[in-house]
Amino acid sequence: MTNFPILVKLACLLQGATVAYAQSTATAPPTLTESTAVPSATVSGSATLPSQVALPPKQPWCPSEIFCAGSLLQTVNLAHLFPDDKTFADKPTSKPPQGVLANFQNISSPNITYGQVIDFVEQNFAGEGHELETVALQDFNANPAFLNNVTNPLVKAWSQTVHTIWTQLIRGTNESTLCSSRSQCESSLIPLNHTFVVPGGRFREQYYWDSFWIVEGLLESELYSIVNSTLQNFMDQLDTIGFIPNGGRIYYLDRSQPPLFIQMLSRYVTVTGDRSILSRALPLAEKELQWWRTNRSLNVSSPFTNQSHLVYHYSVNNSAPRPESYLTDYLTANDPSVNPPLNDTQKAALYAELASGAESGWDYTRRWFTDGDNDGSLRNLAVSRLVAVDLNSILYRNHIIMANLYGSSNSNQVNSHHRAAEALRTAVLDLLWDANKLAFYDFSLDTNKRRDFFSAVNFYPLWSGIIPDEIVRDEKAAFSHFASLNLVLNRFNGTYPTTFVDTGLQWDAPNCWAPHQYIGADINALSGTLVNGGNATDGEGWSHLLQRELANRYITSAFCSWHATGGSIEGILPRLSDAELNVTQSINNNGNMFEKFSSIDVDSAGRGGEYTVQAGFGWTNGLVLWIASNYGDQLNAPQCPSLLAQGRSGHGGTSSARPKAIPAFWAIAAVVAGAALL
């Protein structure tokens, strides 16, 4: 790996320093400036909108005539008044919905202009996020115990800084602005009864799988009441909706996300010892498992053993563009430059696959494309046609956890969950494990074979406790399973990418996401002897070495991108010069915690996707704090590349530019990762 110059020049001086931390018992909520994006058109206001294709069918799960698929939503989105489709979907009406619909009918015509749509939005809608308010953190401890685990003074000071960011991300429902009655106004928000944490940026509401890593951080921060509130919100949704939706908006009511509620519940009980929550939680956890079994399971006959397995896939019942990404989906299905055009049946199927990709959390990646030749378009999605490694591994672990949570209180339930877990373990090892390539792959329902596409999903089964015999018996095979991780850590200065294919999609290379770094760092099943991968400490096995290195890389990525965008710590870490911050266009910033990072540029945010890179950021902060707690005595002062040198070379810290040799490497790495990894 290239040795970059140390940007943080104080690191050596700090090795022997001590850092004082202030104590605090409560925080006042930061001022929440209501975002009110101003609608604007890229053409003259007098120009007419382009002609529209026929409206998609009404979606029974989304009955709103304003925020769900219909004439109003389609017309506003075709005007493209905001850079992000979600902006409009998150704007509550400023008057009763019947009046809004009447006003829309008054301007509806084949010759409707951009100016008319702009005026309509300005006169009938309030600011996005208008229904939410910041909430003060009670009993906030500025010096939680986990900081004592961090030995490097710089990392310790920065971890405490990240810890304080929770005060900016706590939200509650604002009763004074909530559309409590349709006679007042209408909103896409699903009101929550308890305090919650938002990821940040465009993600203004509580999200499902993000919350797992947020909860991990909150537990380290000793914010137990916020974790309890998060779980209570999910239980309320299970109680009233029947499942946990993707996020807290009505346009998410057709889909869930990777089912991690049970694992959040278990972590809360383990850390706090609060088993009183289980009397309510366990029946609702059973309800969630039943929802997945009823709505997302299918039987597959194995071509390898002829056994029949009940397995799970992401599969959303949807036949319209997603409201929060309406224009993006609409253009994907109706792009006039793409031939042949899709018929209505094909469009409906595509909209279902787009929603299924969103349900997976990986929206989007080449992992979900069909086998064989394709043009790399999202039209090639076939998410529902794959038995997903991650989903089945998570559900296996859920059953194991449920059995443990019941303990001796209900032997019938314990036995039932053990049987379900064993059945899933057998299915995963039969359908998804390739003993020759020593890796896990999704199983294609169309080709009746494993999908030959390697990704970070390879590590989910081991994290969940499904360990193939080949890995248990053979040290060389065990290392081969992790060879792609070793390859990346030796080749680049960043952390582990989601896939080895650079498509421009946000869940492909070179992007790195918090869930996969956590899973890699949390696997504790293996031990062995050192095989490459860095500088081992005495007696350190290769598996722990890789995990330690992965933890350090994530801390470095999060720290360097934060520092490169204006982050500083008073008395510890000075702010970069304006000349340096100008490279990242961050002169007016105070440091961003990004949602994703780059494996090839340690001070860069990730790139690609349907929206700009978001800052905040819930699961990034949560993972930083978890790593600080669990690897604190093994974390080194981050070494960041020189921004001025990058600026001169044309590779700024937040730029999407990358070295020309990279695509060739990804191609080679993809072949290696998809082969035996030996």
pLDDT by residue (tens digit) across 358-372? 999 999 999 999 876
Q: Residue 51 CB: number of other CB atoms within 10 A?
A: 7
27 pLDDT exceeds 60? Answer: no
Which single residue is written with the structure tokens 């951009």? Answer: 114
On the question of pLDDT at 85 being above 90, the answer is: yes
Matching residue, tokens 């095979």: 477
Query: Would the pLDDT of 322 be above 90?
Result: yes
Looking at the DSSP assignment, which residues form a beta bridge with residue 26? 138
Percent of residues, the chain, with pLDDT higher than 70 = 85
Q: Is 396 exposed, middle or buried (0-12, 13-18, 19+ CB in 10 A)?
A: buried
Put simply, whether the predicted model's pTM sits higher than 0.75 gets the answer: yes
Does residue 122 have an active-site annotation?
no
DSSP 634: G
Cα–Cα distance measured from residue 404 to residue 176, given in angstroms and rounded to the nearest whole number: 43
What is the residue whose two structure tokens read 């949560």?
Answer: 622
Return left, alpha or beta for 135; rule: phi > 0 is left, psi -120 to 50 is alpha, else beta.
Answer: beta
Distance (Å, whole) CA 634 – CA 194: 37
Beta bridge partners of 369: 381
More confident residue, 644 or 478: 478
| Average of per-residue pLDDT values in the chain | 87
Residue 610, H or E segment: none
Cis peptide before 340 (omega within 30 of 0): yes
Q: Tell whether the model's pLDDT for residue 616 goes beyond 90.
A: no
The predicted-structure confidence for 641-671, as pLDDT tens digits, reads as follows 888 766 555 554 443 333 333 444 444 455 5
Q: Which two tokens stand for residue 154?
A: 């710089």
* Coil, strand or helix at 675: coil
Tell which residue, 135, 54, 26, 520, has the closest CA to residue 320. Answer: 54
Is the model's pLDDT at 293 over the cut of 90?
Answer: yes
pLDDT score for 645:
66
- Provide the pLDDT for residue 201: 83
Residue 15 corresponds to which tokens in the numbers above?
A: 């090795």
The token pair at 647 is 């600026």
Residue 232 has pLDDT above 90, yes or no: yes
pLDDT > 90 in the chain, percent: 73
- For every residue of 299-316, DSSP letters joined together read EEE-TTT--EEEEE----
Q: Please tell me the distance from the alpha carbon of residue 46 to that of residue 34, in angstroms, as a whole number.
A: 30
Q: Please give the pLDDT value at position 531.
A: 32
Specify whether 363 is catalytic: yes
Element spanning 216, H or E: helix 210-220
Residue 429 DSSP label: I
Give me the catalytic one of 90, 363, 442, 610.
363
Q: Which of 76-90, 291-305, 591-605, 610-624 has the lowest mean pLDDT?
A: 610-624
Instruction: Work out the end-to-end distance of the chain between its first and last CA atoms, rounded to an integer number of angstroms.
Output: 20
Q: Encode burial over 620-635: b for 16+ CB neighbours within 10 A, e otherwise.
A: bbbbbbbbbbbbbebb
35, pLDDT greater than 90: no
Place of tokens 């290696």: 672
Q: Which two tokens stand for residue 214?
A: 């947020």
Q: Are 485 and 546 in contact (CB under 8 A)?
A: yes
User: Which of 244-267 are b and which e, b meaning 16 or more Cβ less than 10 Å from the residue's Cβ?
Assistant: bbbbbbbbbbbbbbbbbbbbbbbb
User: Which of 430, 502, 595, 603 is an active site residue?
Assistant: 595
